Structure 1
Amino acid sequence: MTFSETDFFPVDAPQAGLLGADELRALNEKVAAVFKSLAIDKRRLPASQLGGRGIPAYVAEWVLEKVVPGQGELTAAEATKVLEWAAKVIPGPSEQNIIKHRLAQGQTVKVLTPLQAEVQIKKGKEPERVAQLSLLGISDAYISDALLDEYPDLLRQGMWGVVQLGALPDGVAVLSFQPMQASINLNLYKEARKKFTLHEWRAVLLTTLGFDPSAFSETQQTWLLCRLLPLVQKNMHMMELAPKGTGKSFMYENISPKVRLISGGNISPAVLFVNNASGNWGLLARFKVVVLDEVQTSKFEKPEEIVGGLKGYLANGKLTRGGLHETASDCGFVMLANITLDDEQRPLKNSLVEELPKFLRETAFLDRIKALVPGWELPKLSSRLLVSLDSPLTVGLKSDFFGDALVALREDLTAESYASRAVKLGGKMPYRRNEEAVRSMAAGLMKIQFPHGEVSSEDFYAYCFKPAIRLRQGIWDELYGLDSEYRQYEALIKQA
Structure 2
Amino acid sequence: MEKLDIKLNEHFGGKVVRKDLTKLVKGNAIVPTYVLEYLLGQYCATDDEETIVEGVETVKNIIAKHFVHRDEAQLIKATVRDKGSHRIIDKVSVSLNDKKDQYEASFANLGLNRIPIADSVIKEHQKLLSSGVWCILTLAYFHTDERDSTPWIIENIKPIQVSNADVDEYKEARKAFTKEEWIDVLLQTIGLNPEEFTFRSKLIQLTRLVPFVENNYNLIELGPKGTGKSHIFSELSPHGMLISGGEVSKAKLFVNNSTGDIGLVGYWDVVAYDEFAGKTKRVDRGLVDIMKNYMANKSFSRGTQVYGASASMVFVGNTDHTVPYMIKHSDLFDALPKDYYDTAFLDRLHAYIPGWEVQKLRNEMFTSNYGFIVDYLAEILKDLRKEDRTHDYSKFFELSNSITTRDKTSIAKTYAGLVKVIYPHNEITESDAKELLYFAIENRKRVKLQLQKMDETFEEVDFSYTIKSTGEIINVDTLEVIQYGPKKSPVVEIKAEAHQETTSTFTEESPIELQGGQKIIRDNQIGISYDLLFGAYLLGATDIKVIDPYVRLPYQLRNFMELAKLIAEKKDPEVEVKLHLVTANNEDYVENAKEAFEQMSYSLESLGILFTYEFDDFIHDRSIVMDNGWKVVLGRGLDIWQKTGGWYDINEYVQEQRLCKAHEITFVKGY
TM-score bracket for this pair, using the shorter chain length: 0.7 to 0.9
Q: Do the aligned partners of residues 343 and 147 (structure 1) sit closer, same or farther apart at CA in structure 2, a change above 3 Å counting?
A: closer
TM-score normalised according to structure 1 size = 0.86
Which residue number in structure 1 is paired with residue 160 of structure 2? 180
Match of 1:474 in 2: 446
Moved more, 272-281 or 345-354: 345-354
Residue in structure 2 matched with residue 379 of structure 1 by the alignment: 359
Summarize the Cα distance change of 1:318–1:217 in structure 2 as closer, same or farther, 3 Å threshold: same
Greater C-alpha Rg: 2
- How far did residue 399 of structure 1 move? 0.5
Contact 1:264/1:297 (<8 A) preserved = no
Could you tell me which runs of 5 or more consecutive residues in structure 2 were left unpaired when the two chains were aligned: 467-671
Distance in 1, matches of 2:72 and 2:280, equals 30
Q: 1:451 aligns with which of 420, 424, 435?
A: 424
Unaligned runs of 5+ in 1: 1-23, 389-393
Deviation of the 1:229 alpha carbon:
0.7
The separation in 2 between residues aligned to 1:289 and 1:469, in whole angstroms, is: 22
Matched ranges for 1:63-462 at <5 A: 63-67=39-43, 70-71=46-47, 79-103=56-80, 107-122=84-99, 127-155=101-129, 159-168=133-142, 169=144, 170-171=149-150, 172-182=152-162, 183-263=164-244, 265-297=246-278, 303-321=284-302, 323=303, 325-342=305-322, 350-388=330-368, 394-413=369-388, 415-422=389-396, 424-427=398-401, 429-462=402-435
1:239–1:72: structure 2 CA closer, same or farther, 3 Å change rule? farther
Q: Deviations over 1:14-63 (max 9, x none)?
A: xxxxxxxxxx9311100000000011111211222x15201111110112
Shift of residue 367 of structure 1?
0.3
Aligned counterpart in structure 1 of residue 33 of structure 2, from 39, 51, 57:
57
For 2:315 and 2:230, the matched residues in 1 are separated by 10
Greater share of helix residues, 1 or 2?
Answer: 1
Letter in 2 for 1:31: L
Which position in structure 2 is the counterpart of 1:495?
465
Residues 358, 149 of structure 1: alpha-carbon distance in 2 compared, 3 angstrom cutoff: closer
Structure 1 pair 320–150 and aligned structure 2 pair: CA distance change class (3 A): closer
CA contact (8 A) 2:391 2:412 kept: no
Change (3 A) 1:204 1:194: same
Match of 2:617 in 1: none
State the secondary structure of the residue aligned to 1:411.
coil
Secondary structure of the corresponding residue to residue 139 of structure 1? coil
More contact order relative to length (CA 8 Å, sep ≥ 6): 1
In 1, the alpha carbon distance for the partners of 2:391 and 2:254 equals 32
When the two structures are superposed, what TM-score results if normalisation uses the length of structure 2? 0.64
After superposition, the CA RMSD in angstroms is 2.5
The superposition leaves residues 80-108 of structure 1 with CA deviations (integer Å, 9 ceiling, x where unpaired) of 44333211100111012223344455731
Say which is worse superposed, 418-427 or 212-221, in terms of deviation: 418-427
Q: 2:3 aligns with which of 21, 26, 33?
A: 26
* Aligned counterparts of 2:15 and 2:53: Cα–Cα separation in 1: 23
Does the 8 Å CA contact 2:17/2:40 hold for their aligned counterparts? no
Q: Distance in 1 between matches of 2:157 and 2:9?
A: 30
The answer for the alignment partner of 2:18 in structure 1 is 41
Question: What is the aligned length?
Answer: 458
Distance 1:348 1:134, change over 3 A: farther
**Does the 8 A contact of 1:157 with 1:286 survive in 2?**
no
Code of the residue aligned with 1:92 in structure 2: it is: H
Does the C-alpha gap of structure 1 residues 78 and 406 become closer, same or farther in structure 2, counting only changes over 3 Å?
A: closer
**How far apart are 1:181 and its partner, in Å?**
2.9
**How far apart, in 2, do the equivalents of 1:346 and 1:52 lie?**
40
Structure 1 residue 266 displacement after superposition: 2.6
CA contact (8 A) 1:264 1:299 kept: no
Instruction: State the distance in 1 between where 2:71 and 2:328 align.
Output: 44
Identity %: 29
